[in-house]
Structure 1
Amino acid sequence: MTELHQLARLIRSKNAGPFELTIDVMFADEASYRRVVDAGVLGAERIAALYRVDPADVRLFRADVALAIKVSLPRPTPSGSPTDTDIFGGQFHSPIVCLEVP
């Protein structure tokens, strides 16, 4: 089985304001992009389970022309709060890096 990081050119996360995160998954070729999209690996239900959020709070955007998928979801704690472990949101992509893609 192939893992997502083997197909993606770039996987990154960052803040989308103090209360939201955005995760970008970008591909170098259309075949890899289509494989991930068609497999449904980055569906709202899967993301919600990984990040322990309500599936209704997960927003997915596909940019076919750019060969990219963007996921937006609520942060577990506001950026900069005393319990925040990643003020810039740069490590939140970790749970999806090794997702298996059929």
Structure 2
Amino acid sequence: MARLQEVCRDLRSKNAGPFWVTIDIFFDGAESFRRYAHHPALGAEAIGKLFGVDPALVKRFPVESLEMIKISYPRRTPQGGVEERDLHAGQQFVRLLDLDLD
């Protein structure tokens, strides 16, 4: 059973403005990219559920030449708001580390 952290060379999240978060998933090679880039666990439905946002608003951008996918989703509250827990969104990727991909 493969977990996302086992098939990636880098996984990071970051602020994409006051209303969006972006996650970059760099796979460890072309084979991993082909096998997992379109896996349902990394689909809009799963990401929406995981981060508590409307799946229709989740954006996915596979970049085959870089063997990575970029996933963007709206913040539940604006950056810097009273309920904000991760101002720079640098820890949001942690929820993805143990995703089961098999």
TM-score when normalising by structure 1: 0.94
Indicate whether 1:40 and 2:40 are aligned.
yes
Q: Give the superposed CA RMSD.
A: 1.1
- Which residue matches 2:15? 15
- Residue identity matched to 1:92: Q
Secondary structure of the corresponding residue to residue 65 of structure 2: coil
Map of 1:85 onto structure 2: 85
Query: Alignment partner of 2:41: what SS?
Result: coil
Distance in 2 separating the partners of 1:39 and 1:50: 15
Structure 1 runs not aligned, ≥5 long: none
Distance, in Å, in 1 between the alignment partners of 2:65 and 2:41 is: 19
1:34-53 deviation line (CA, Å, top 9, x unaligned): 12125333110111111111
Rounded to whole Å, the distance in 2 between the matches of 1:94 and 1:29 is 21
**Secondary structure in 2 matching 1:21:** strand
Partner of 1:51: 51
Superposed CA deviations along residues 39-72 of structure 1, whole A, max 9, x for unmatched, are 3331101111111111111000000001010000
Q: TM-score, normalised by structure 2?
A: 0.94
Distance in 1 of aligned mates of 2:39 and 2:56: 20
Give 3-state SS (helix, strand or coil) of 2:96's partner.
Answer: helix
Q: Indicate the larger mover: 36-45 or 88-97.
A: 36-45
Query: 2:27·2:33 contact (CA, 8 Å) conserved in 1?
Result: yes
